[in-house]
Amino acid sequence: MMKTTQRNNISGFQRSLSLMLAVFLTISLITTSFVQPVSAASRIKDIVEIEGVRDNMLIGYGLVVGLNGTGDSIEDGHFTKESLQSMLNRMGIKTTDAAVDSANVAAVMVTANLPPFSRQGSRIDVTVSALGDSDSLLGGTLLVTPLLGADGEVYAVSQGQLAVGGFSATGDAESVTKGVPTSARIANGAIIERELTFDMSNMRTFNLNLRNPDFTTGRRVAQAINAFLGTSAANAIDLSTIAVNIPTGYANGAVGLLTDIEQLRIEPDQIAKVVIDEHSGTIVMGDNARISTVAIAQGSLTIRITEAQQVSQPGPFAEVGTTTTVDRTDIEIDEGSDSKLTVVNGGVTLQELVNGLNALGIGPRDMITILQAIKAAGALQADIEVM
């Protein structure tokens, strides 16, 4: 009887221990799920473009009227004057050169993007930019302006009141300018007159183009699509193109498949690159930038010359001498004697590389020179792109 009771106690203890262990593992998994970093995965729709589905750029030449004396200076032979005369003649108004003299008209270029699948009668935004010597387009109205495509055909017609984001005010002694008063926009300012046909209903295959071409990223996209469909429908055929075959009988064809796969998430890969802007001193380094073991010392010769004038005059009651100014020059030379030699170990991370360069106490301009020198020495495993 005692042995049976002992076995029951042991079994109960084991069950309690197993239950406690299961609870502990569950709490650990929940805690781990909260502290894990957010994944860097991106949706496929954010990193690819569908081949053939693209914007088309439109451009047109027009006139803006209604300006408050800030238009083009109309002179003999000026294109604004010729455009104004031509427009008035088409409207049945015969003018002479002397009669066409207005400061309220400006010649402009009108630009717009025609989105894919835009239908006739829909509207798009346009940008209006001064072409002549107009001071401001504030308060102006764009007259009917045909917008042409690259093939010379008219795809939209624009007209409307300009919305200018800047202004300019000038006085006798001072002028104030905010923004760019010679550029404006018209929201929904153009009506589409011609459509660009692109039929996806009968497509059996389509291509996805990577915005940042990369072999690894392309293969990951293809693998994600194939895993979703359960078949080998996608294949990365080059650096930037993934060919996708639409499975037979797929609901809604190409549109349905694109809707489903564009939400899939993958982690894009990137090459090691250091981008340098010499003009602003900006440096952007990718996460994969690595360097081999290298010693860095930074020092520069600085010469500062200060010129000052001092007054030299004769002493009190002196019978000779005149008061005059004498140049005084002060020259300071800094040879960078406080510079240190820093060793940066090989295979360091981006953060360690930045910390090593910051330890030298240098600015962005000198850091650009150091990075270029490290690359020239063959110790930087990354491409340098100078903007």
For residue range 289-308, list pLDDT tens digits in order: 777 776 766 665 455 556 56
Distance of alpha carbon 162 from alpha carbon 140, whole angstroms: 6
User: pLDDT for 56-87, tens place per residue?
Assistant: 999 999 999 999 888 898 876 688 888 888 88
User: Buried b vs exposed e over 176-212: b needs ≥16 C-beta within 10 Å?
Assistant: eeeeebbbbebeebbebeeeeeeeeeeeeebebbbee
Q: Is residue 368 pLDDT above 50, yes or no?
A: yes
**Amino acid at residue number 230:** G
Q: What is the pLDDT of residues 244-282, one digit of tens each?
A: 999 988 888 899 999 999 999 999 988 888 888 877 778
**Dihedral over Cα of 15, 20, 21, 22: its sign:** positive
* Confidence category of residue 383, pLDDT binned at 50, 70, 90: confident
Element (H, E) at 318: none
* Whole-number Å distance between alpha carbons of 207 and 210: 10
Residue 161 CB coordination number (10 Å): 13
Kindly state the percentage of the chain with pLDDT values over 90. 36
Interatomic CA distance for residues 51 and 198, integer angstroms: 11
| pLDDT at site 94 | 81
Angstrom CA distances, 280 to 42, 284, 367, 375, 387, stand at 31, 12, 13, 21, 10
Q: What kind and span of H or E run contains 236? A: strand 234-236
Q: Of 95, 51, 70, 268, whose CA–CA distance to 169 is shortest?
A: 70
Q: Please tell me the pTM assigned to this model.
A: 0.67
